Amino acid sequence: MVEFPKSFFFGSATSATQCEGAHTAYDKGADIWDLWYEQEPFKFHDEIGPGTTSTFYEHYQSDIQLLKATGHNSFRTSISWSRLFPKGYGEINEDAVRFYKDVFQELKANGIEPFVNLYHFDMPAALQEIGGWENRQVVAYYQAYAKTCFTLFHEEVKHWFTFNEPIVHVECGYLSCYHYPCKVDPKAAVQVAYHTALASALAIREYHKIDKEGKIGIVLNLTPAYPRSDHPADVKAATIAELFANKSFLDPSVKGEYDPMLVEIIRKHDLMPTYTQEDLQVIKENRVDFLGVNYYQPVRVCAKANMPNPDAPFTPEYYFDRYEMPGRKMNPYRGWEIYPKGIYDIAMNIRDNYGNIEWMITENGMGVENEERFRKDGRIEDDYRIAFFKDHLTWLAKGIKEGSHCIGYHVWTFIDCWSWLNAYKNRYGLVELNLATQERIIKKSGRWFKELAEHHGFE
């Protein structure tokens, strides 16, 4: 048996934007995805925007019964900032308050512990108009929003996260044009990253004023950086890749300070953000209670083959090239390497270099295109997904056995959901969603996941 502790959290994760639907109804304000889709719908797969998604807003009661049927004892979702505050601040949407309170109470009534995230790439459009995370005022608005959530829902929710994958809205929004506002501005990227880390620390401070029993953390997508070889130039390339991909948020969140080597690089390229010593003290004094880790793939790098263009805008790739390891196992639908041992390496890194802080896997999953071809007797037989889970869980169990303080494993995701620019191209769910009829059918992986949770492991 590959076994896990009896108290282990088994569940799945989603986000408000990707599951709730009804994005302009019920007095919800627009977020940047609504705004971007209105401006450039052609950038979205099959021109499918965020309007409908998996209709959790209407079907949350029956969906929670499906969570129960697939063995969940926990579930991570997020609160939509622009649903609670249509303008990002000011007047609160009472319909949203009732909805989220009902969801959290329904989860608790069914023995499912809610894990709630405050921000999942979904800046309110009204705040993006004043600069989004570039604007220090938005940090204050976020702090007020977080305080409101804690005040409203702290009785139902005892596990919070401030942000999901904050490096994504930095890199994708301000370096690679993959998220709104589609800028290529490294100076702004650094300022956005700094403001996000500060906002997280301020939210943690607010939470501990309100609730002394619960815990608050941050969800980071950790992608271990592996060098092509043990050549010193390759090793240095991997060290720098690790600084940007992982340590840029991991260190301030867990240690309360930035890695000096990262600061040196940022200063060298004249990208230092506007900050104060008081801010740095807030970050130092308000660290996470526990850590969420999303793991999908590693990053493999090597020393650069050519000198960077001195006139090009700075990106972390100034210091390394991406390396395609011969023989790597791939998910061809997503273009990501499948490397289960990476989850063990993360466990050891947290144990050895981050005080063995309590942590959990908050996302791990495999997206596959055209799953209909695997239907048999009315059910999708997604054995590939079960194998993916087993491989990663085997390495995770090894890490736990060797002392890493991991408390849970959440897969992405519960039900096939809308995925940012990719819409429904790849399906990740334990439960199939029929877009035309909204019918939900548990896949083979969903039945297997129930057995996993019931037995706290697998053979």
Q: Would you place residue 264 in the very low, low, confident or very high pLDDT band (cuts 50, 70, 90)?
A: very high
* Closest to 428 (Cα-Cα) out of 414, 440, 442, 439: 414
Class of domain 2-225+241-298+337-458: alpha beta
Instruction: List, in order, residues 6 or more apart from 298 with CB less than 8 Å away.
Output: 223, 224, 225, 226, 337, 339, 342
Task: Tell me the C-alpha to C-alpha distance, in Å, between residue 269 and each of 117, 189, 197, 322.
Answer: 33, 13, 20, 21
Write down the domain spans for the chain: 2-225+241-298+337-458
pLDDT one-digit tens code per residue, 418-455: 999 999 999 999 999 999 999 999 999 999 999 999 99
Q: Is the pLDDT of residue 339 over 80?
A: yes
Q: Would you place residue 325 in the very low, low, confident or very high pLDDT band (cuts 50, 70, 90)?
A: very high
Q: Would you place residue 282 in the very low, low, confident or very high pLDDT band (cuts 50, 70, 90)?
A: very high
Q: What angle do CA 415, 421, 425 make, to 5 degrees?
A: 50
Question: What sections of 354-443 are H helices per DSSP?
Answer: 383-401
Q: What is the largest CA-CA distance in the chain?
A: 63
Judge contact between 10 and 73, C-beta under 8 A.
Answer: yes
pLDDT at 22: 66
Of the given ranges (19-33, 65-79, 354-368), which has the lowest mean pLDDT? 19-33
* Chain centroid, CA 403 distance in Å: 25
pLDDT at 52: 79
* Closest to 30 (Cα-Cα) out of 88, 78, 79: 88
Mean local confidence (pLDDT), 347-365: 98
The values of phi and psi at residue 423, to 5°, are 50, -120
pLDDT at 41: 95
pLDDT at 27: 82
Question: Which candidate in 106, 113, 363, 432 is catalytic?
Answer: 363
In whole numbers, what is the pLDDT of the chain averaged over residues?
Answer: 97
pLDDT one-digit tens code per residue, 230-242: 999 999 999 999 9
pLDDT one-digit tens code per residue, 394-407: 999 999 999 999 99
Question: Which candidate in 165, 171, 337, 371 is catalytic?
Answer: 165
* Closest to 80 (Cα-Cα) out of 114, 122, 113: 122
pLDDT at 76: 98
DSSP 88-136: SSSS--HHHHHHHHHHHHHHHHTT-EEEEES-SS--BHHHHTTTGGGSH
Q: Is 20 among the residues known to form the active site?
A: no
Q: Please give the share of the chain, as a percent, with pLDDT higher than 90.
A: 97
Q: Is 155 among the residues known to form the active site?
A: no
Q: Is the pLDDT of residue 23 over 80?
A: no
* Chain centroid, CA 288 distance in Å: 16
pLDDT at 21: 80
Q: Would you place residue 24 in the very low, low, confident or very high pLDDT band (cuts 50, 70, 90)?
A: low
Instruction: Give me the residue label for tokens 């069914």.
Output: 110
Q: Is the pLDDT of residue 336 over 70?
A: yes
